[in-house]
Structure 1
Amino acid sequence: MTRPAETRQRIISAVLRIIGDDGVAGVTNRRIAQEAGVSLGSVTYHFATQQDLLRASLLHFVDCETRHFGQLARESQGECADLGHVVELVREVANTMPQDSERIAPYELYLHAGRDPELRDAASDCFAAYDKLAATVLTALGVPDAEKVAGAVVGLIMGMKLRALATGSGTDDLVDGLLMLVKGAAEPPRPD
């Protein structure tokens, strides 16, 4: 017998796959039930509305991302003073974000968070975890005001990843662009 928590998780995983394949508009209770291998009644039992379902899906994704990137930040403290190590870390991060439907879903959910104020806090938590990892790496590289630069680095990574998803390109442009940004931020200001 499947426990309620397992059923709920199967539903959330199905929602993320559906959103990745067909966007938020593709999410229907019938499709979720089929994709998750649960009864139609289970979907409505666990989630009263589609907003609840979308919110739970984003929160689940954010929880996973926050734990993953928080762990990377802790592991990277003190190890990122070498630019070569940073390049490998960026490649690792980029490659753990495969270009499949489940990685498209977060972008859809982030856009949805722009329309749903109740999802904005969850999205903010996720971006805070990304920013923390970026600031940790930038600080280790000697970038002044790393916390201020972190948001731009995260924006570059997210934008380049979105571009890779949209075009089917690889992560080399991401790594190269990030290195250019970090090298520029680490340079001392030029006298006027």
Structure 2
Amino acid sequence: MSKAPATRQSIIDAVLRIIGEDGVAGVTNRRIAKEAKVSLGSVTYHFTTQHEMLRESLLYFVAEETRRFTELADQCETDGMDIDRASATFGQVAGCTQTDSRYIAPFELYVQAGRDERLRTAAAQCFAAYDQLAARILTGLGVPDAERLAGTAVALVFGLQLRSLATGAPAEELVDALLLLARGAQHA
């Protein structure tokens, strides 16, 4: 990897850490440079505006989440799905409810996308990947109309993840709630 892409990635990683620690308001070029261990000039060379930096950070997060959730969705199709497998998959998703700053940053970026329509396309891409995974799990469980219910399942995941982050409640509550939803939808 050449130095420029590595520097750019270090900046993006630093932006995500800072957002997770102190929100979007904590993102300053000086702090990014210090956190990424790069020169201040490198920050402004790679990103001419804060919007560009936020958008690229969100896009990076989206690409990583999309890759991760697409892999999980593909496993759901190839490995088959039963309630135990669904529980394990939900557990992998719920595992992202730690209070580590990198798990908080996406929520901050999604809120920022609500304020800045230029970030909404990137946020929509990430939610499409979440919806795809949810639809595959629900379909594998035999839930009728899984595509239509996927967005609701994703909204439940996000709401419970946010609750877990805010209260420190364990991720098991999220898994239990999702399994309850899936079981109920199977019999609807």
Q: State the TM-score bracket (shorter-chain normalisation).
A: over 0.9
What is the total number of aligned residue pairs between the two structures? 188
Counterpart for residue 151 of structure 1: 151
Whole-angstrom CA distance in 1 between matches of 2:11 and 2:100: 19
Whole-angstrom CA distance in 2 between matches of 1:154 and 1:130: 6
Counterpart for residue 180 of structure 2: 180
Q: Partner letter of residue 32 of structure 2? A: I
SS at match of 2:38: coil
- Structure 2 residues not aligned, in runs of 5+: none
Whole-angstrom CA distance in 1 between matches of 2:38 and 2:152: 42
| Aligned residue runs from structure 1 range 35-184, under 5 A | 35-184=35-184
Whole-angstrom CA distance in 2 between matches of 1:80 and 1:160: 26
Whole-angstrom CA distance in 2 between matches of 1:134 and 1:97: 17
Whole-angstrom CA distance in 1 between matches of 2:5 and 2:81: 42
User: Are residue 16 (structure 1) and residue 16 (structure 2) matched?
Assistant: yes
Taking structure 1 as the reference length, the TM-score comes to 0.94
Query: Per-residue deviation at 1:101?
Result: 0.6
Question: Which structure features the higher share of helix residues?
Answer: 2
Whole-angstrom CA distance in 2 between matches of 1:149 and 1:155: 10
Q: Which moved more, 1:80-89 or 1:16-25?
A: 80-89
Query: Per-residue deviation at 1:92?
Result: 1.7
Whole-angstrom CA distance in 2 between matches of 1:2 and 1:77: 37
Whole-angstrom CA distance in 2 between matches of 1:2 and 1:66: 25
What is the root-mean-square deviation in Å for CA atoms of aligned residues? Answer: 1.4
Whole-angstrom CA distance in 2 between matches of 1:144 and 1:2: 49
Taking structure 2 as the reference length, the TM-score comes to 0.96
Counterparts in 2 of 1:24 and 1:107: CA distance versus 1, 3 Å: same
Q: Partner letter of residue 17 of structure 2? A: R
Whole-angstrom CA distance in 1 between matches of 2:2 and 2:79: 43
Of the two, which has the highest radius of gyration?
1
Moved over 2 A (4+): 78-81, 96-99
